Amino acid sequence: MTANPESQLRQRTEDLLTALTAGLYERDRAMALALLTAVAGESIFLLGPPGVGKSLIARRLKYAFRDGVSFEYLMSKFSTPDEVFGPISIKKLRDEDKYERLTDRYLPGANIVFLDEIWKAGPAIQNALLTILNEKIYRNGDHDIQVNIRGIITASNELPPRQANLAPIWDRFLVRLELGRINEYQNFIKMVVDTRDVYDDNIPETTKLSEAELTEWSERIDAVEVPAEVLNTLQLLLYKIETYNEQPNNAPHPILIYDRRWKKSVRLLRAAAFLHGRSAVNLMDCFLLEHCLWNAPEQREVIREMIVDAVRKHGYSVAVNLSALKTEVREFEEDVREETRIQHVREEEQLLPVNESYYELEKDLSQFRGVLVTIDQFRGLSDEEYSSVNFYDEELNLVNRIRGRKGPREHTLEVNFNGTDTVFRLKTQLTERREVIRKQPHRLLREFWDGRTQQLTDYVRQQLNAIEENGPEELSDIGDHLFVDPSFARVVRANLDEVRDSLESLLLRLEKLQFEYGAEV
């Protein structure tokens, strides 16, 4: 059975990454991001000390391309444009009086470019790089050259100095990744004893990417859908970043992200979805933004927490318009209850407590001492048999003990005093009692409600079916994302489960509501 083109594309990407990272340890994510940026036609900046594999990643990345030409250069304060963009053509200058560079095998003629110690480049080199990074154009003499650079990898062991005017070129590097030494002891041991030549091109020719493919892919990447849940995540991130920048303690070092970076970041998400064989970006792809939105390393954790919070609390809830759906069901419940429940208020007498524990006798008690009886004792009296009843004065002192029982009328006490039965009334107060009287709705109103219930139920079921049918496909590779840490998968799944539970709860509420207004009074 032949695999579909989408799964073939994902498998090919996975095979390519496996070959690119052979012999590398704890550099899978860096290599994957370098490949992703190259396919998207973007740039990546690697921050880390010497000897952690920054140049190795760039050198191996060129093997991913069938006709790849690479250019590598270590910048210094003495670097000249001739060394980066090519020497001046003496023949052109002599014969045609034209100032042009011979760009073949230099940066303008390369597909993969690696520039080490980028911040040491002089202004002339930086200015030319800005145009290349922005527009893929190099100004050679009096005409523009459309460069075919697929990926630019830059590296340094430091961030651009704040006092230097390097902000424009720093902003052009879409993906920013910090590399450190190998952390796992076992990986360290494997690395030091591994004798493979990591600079060897071991990638099968059929796995490599051709220029024609990359051109076709560019159009298909632009066609990848960006669904509502992803757009909402972007909006929330923008809001969270603006809120963060407004806090006084963050004002000196704000997270500055301009429109161009947002647009390029979305294309990176599209490229990630495309290489997975998907036609739409998903929430897992959004975690790539943690490499695109920070300006200083200490902001990475802040950005990551913002993304996690946006996905965990909102995510797919926007795709099903959950908030509006809950509001509509709640308003429907209120409409039904307003029509079928009549609030009736009536006055009734209730015993008036004294000091929370006593009832007071209303009748003149000059014939014997005591005006108060305990609430518990009164409630425990029988309406037939006599039992002993304690009476207290207004200062709550016990002053009498007489045989008594509940009287023949409500709120009365009957006592046997000196052989005579006497009925005393307890003091009461008038209180309002609210009660709900159910009303049968009109037949036409019930029919209208049935239609509304069916409409809401159908919509909820459609969303549940979309989760059940498309959800597994949507999440098929969520725990095995090629470019994102798989630990983020639980955040996406948690949000999806929460949306599913909310939809099922709404279904139950609609069923109860229909039973409520449909039941006979």
Please state, in angstroms and rounded to a whole number, the distance separating the CA atoms of residues 31 and 157.
18
Please state, in angstroms and rounded to a whole number, the distance separating the CA atoms of residues 111 and 406.
102
Q: 419 — alpha (psi -120 to 50), left (phi > 0) or beta?
A: left
**Tokens at 179, concatenated:** 């590399």
Q: 137 — alpha (psi -120 to 50), left (phi > 0) or beta?
A: beta
**pLDDT for 164 beyond 50:** yes
pLDDT digit string, tens, across residues 408-454: 999 999 988 777 888 889 999 988 887 777 888 888 998 999 999 99
pLDDT digit string, tens, across residues 449-471: 999 999 999 988 988 887 776 55
pLDDT band at residue 178, thresholds of 50, 70 and 90? very high
pLDDT, averaged across the chain? 88
Q: How many residues does the chain have?
A: 521
**pLDDT for 398 beyond 70:** yes
pLDDT digit string, tens, across residues 254-265: 998 999 999 999
Q: Is 98 exposed, middle or buried (0-12, 13-18, 19+ CB in 10 A)?
A: middle
Please report, rounded to a whole number, the percentage of residues in the chain having pLDDT higher than 70.
95
pTM: 0.74
pLDDT digit string, tens, across residues 106-148: 999 888 899 999 999 888 898 889 889 888 899 888 888 899 8
Of 31-40, 114-123, 319-328, the range with the lowest mean pLDDT is 319-328
Q: What is the model's pLDDT at position 366? A: 55
Longest dimension (CA), the chain: 144
- Across 297-309, average pLDDT: 93
Q: Are 56 and 198 in contact (CB under 8 A)?
A: yes
pLDDT band at residue 1, thresholds of 50, 70 and 90? very low
**Tokens at 256, concatenated:** 């500055």
Sequence ranges of the domains in the chain:
5-211, 224-340+443-521, 353-426
- What's the sign of the alpha-carbon dihedral 89, 134, 118, 38? negative
Q: 346 — alpha (psi -120 to 50), left (phi > 0) or beta?
A: beta
Please state which CATH class domain 5-211 belongs to: alpha beta
- Across 54-73, average pLDDT: 88
Of 100-104, 174-178, 271-275, 475-479, the range with the lowest mean pLDDT is 475-479
